[in-house]
Structure 1
Amino acid sequence: MALIEVTDLYKSFGDVRAVDGISFTVEEGIIFGFLGPNGAGKTTTIRILVTLAEQTSGTAIVGGIDVAANPRGVRNRVGYAAQATGIDRDLTGKENLILQGRLHGLAKAEAQREADAILEVISLSEVADRRAGTYSGGMARRLDLGQALIHRPNVLFLDEPTTGLDPQNRHAMWTYLRKLNDDGMTIFLTTQYLEEADELADTLAIIDNGRIVVEGSPTELKRGIGGDSVTLVPSSDGAADSLEVMATAMRALPKTNAVEKLAESVVVYLEDGGSRIAEIVRAIDATGVQLGRLELAEPSLDQVFLKHTGARLRVEDVKPPSRMSRNRMRT
């Protein structure tokens, strides 16, 4: 069953079209990944879906409710954690959760019970009575996640939940999200991290310049690239000139899908790369270039993004400010 249905959605800011006629559905019980660079339209889309922004045109249905016609009904059914954490640093972790529960209409005793349960889920029970301002970045993120869960939503919207976290806390957050999904939670996740999209998403949509350029499971999208990639790195002597010579030699090979010359390497995309290594090495030897390193890899989401957008995904990993969010939803 489709829990989210988006049809011909547009959002313009003056002459800038931030969301440019996108359509997609999200099935109940999956993790849906929305992958793209900063400025691609990810945050604008998610803000429309959680009723914090109005679309210019098109329709968006969440849990069977039109976001424009009945925003209050949508807010009662969704949880949302923005890029900037929406915690009150002067309150304790538990007080933050109780406050959010009360704002969602929970009775005091119910909010307290839910807060205790959520603290267990996000592994913050031992620091529940500490001021949130003393929490580490990873702990603050988990508390923000807890606030989005306090009213037991049908779908959880997360806008780049691991941006600014170190690798250890990023992987810990993935573990929490997988457990939530295993327990039946539908998750809509925006991200600019290829590894995160590959690790978490059941279905993935890549958005660039406001448009969805491709959609499918990470496995399907990688299979759609076709073949493997072989990365060739010349020895340090005369590397700059060697790259062009190597690229020319690779373009002359039969049955290659593409050849890409990068700053320090040449990448060849072709079917069954493992069986053609000897052929590639012979072609490089014939040019007189000394090969420093050769790497064989299966298709990656990086290659998927490159194929469909013509550019590599640039990650701007800037830690967002931890502050009381003005965008926190109220019922």
Structure 2
Amino acid sequence: MRSATLLEPRRFQIDALEAPAPGEGEVLLKVRGCGVCGSDMGPWKGIQGLEYPMKPGAPGHEVFGTVEALGPGVQGLRPGDPVTALTYRAYSEYDVARAADVVPLPPSLSDRVVLGEPVACAVNVSHRAGVKEGDVVVLLGTGFLSALLLQLLNRPEAPSPSRVITISRRRLSAEMAERLGVDESLSYDDDVHHRIGAVTGGQMADVVIEATGKQRPLDLGGELTRVRGRLIVAGYHQDGPRTVNMQLWNWRGIDVINAHERDPGIYKRGMEEGVRLLAAGAFDLEPLITHTFPLAEINRAFSTSEERPEGFLKSVVLPEARA
């Protein structure tokens, strides 16, 4: 099989390796595709604490594909089943997952891109955010996770915010804002404090979701959250310590919620719920997959994800595609 190995920051190499064999309770997956996650940018750029070369296929974890073979003791799955899963070396033609971390896809999704891991993240963040009917919601960042969250907020059966405002480096296009149910899209260069104050009668937002993993939006998130409001940390902060304005957080009595999950069972339940919502048409990944690359061009997939050109939301690496 072909597999991508991150030899050093910003340099993958494609190697020919033996396909792994699934062990007890494991499943061998034939990888149809793997999304490039924002958390993958840390290994790509070279954050402290990592060793290179990384294991072949790492850090790919947003995988979808088909079951190739079953290890001893696996039940409820068959070769050929379309699935999404939690795995960790999916920049490869094959990867191994625990059967407990595999979610089958219904026939309606069998030929579609289903990135179960980020879908699970979005579902779990939406639960932790606890948006209520009539809330003013501010979303900091308009990347792939944010777009998923906006779709979840916009479901007919979900509690309806009175206003949804995004703030990011670039404003959303009018078309994208309408599609995602955004009432107003601002940039960091706008007078966002005045604007949020104006639409809330000076109270600020009920719920602020920070989805960037950066210091400045985290600071801004606290400033835009009302007294007894909720600041949801959904961004992945992997590049060192953060400082917070504890005086402000204390004075306003805000609830600060770390929306990251580390329990595989909760992750899987989020994937299962996300797959059900996708199958029901409650939200859609297809318009959000803006860039695809064959495995041989994985370095370009990562550089594009780092540079984030105009219109970019998500890169997906497709091992079966050819350059």
TM-score range, shorter chain: under 0.3
Q: TM-score, normalised by structure 1?
A: 0.26
Higher relative CO (Cα under 8 Å, sequence separation at least 6) belongs to 1
Greater fraction helix = 1
Max Rg structure:
1
